[in-house]
Amino acid sequence: MLNQCELLCLLVSDFPSESPRIKTCNYSCINVATIINMKDKSTKKLNSELKIKKSATISLIIVLALLLCVCIYGLIAKENKSVFISLMIIPFSLSSIVFLNYRNMKKIKNELETRK
């Protein structure tokens, strides 16, 4: 028969994911102002960021529209409508990313226009 101390040691060693351990993480703090400040970035870098954001936003719009079309088709044609109703949440919730990207693209365009 194991005593309590041996039993606890056995449990901790057998289940390392459940044992409380102190983890020290050395993450560098990122200053948000340096990311948002576009005046420090070169025109070439801003143009490349604008191109990346534009292509990512267009591809996101296409994927979300395709998912919405599949969900609408599933609601009309299939009998198990609960799956398609729950999938319709995804395009509506992720559409906010499109608006955020559009706002950021507008800021980058304004910064590029002030530099001309």
* Spatial separation of the C-alpha atoms in residues 99 and 76, rounded to whole Å: 29
Model confidence at 7, pLDDT cuts 50, 70, 90, reads: very low
| Confidence band for 17, pLDDT divided at 50, 70 and 90 | low
What pLDDT, in 10s, does the model give residues 47-88? Answer: 999 999 999 999 999 999 999 999 999 999 988 888 888 889
Domain-wise residue ranges, the chain? 4-115
Contact present, 108 and 50 (Cβ < 8 Å): yes
- Entry pTM: 0.63
Confidence class for position 42, pLDDT limits 50, 70, 90? confident
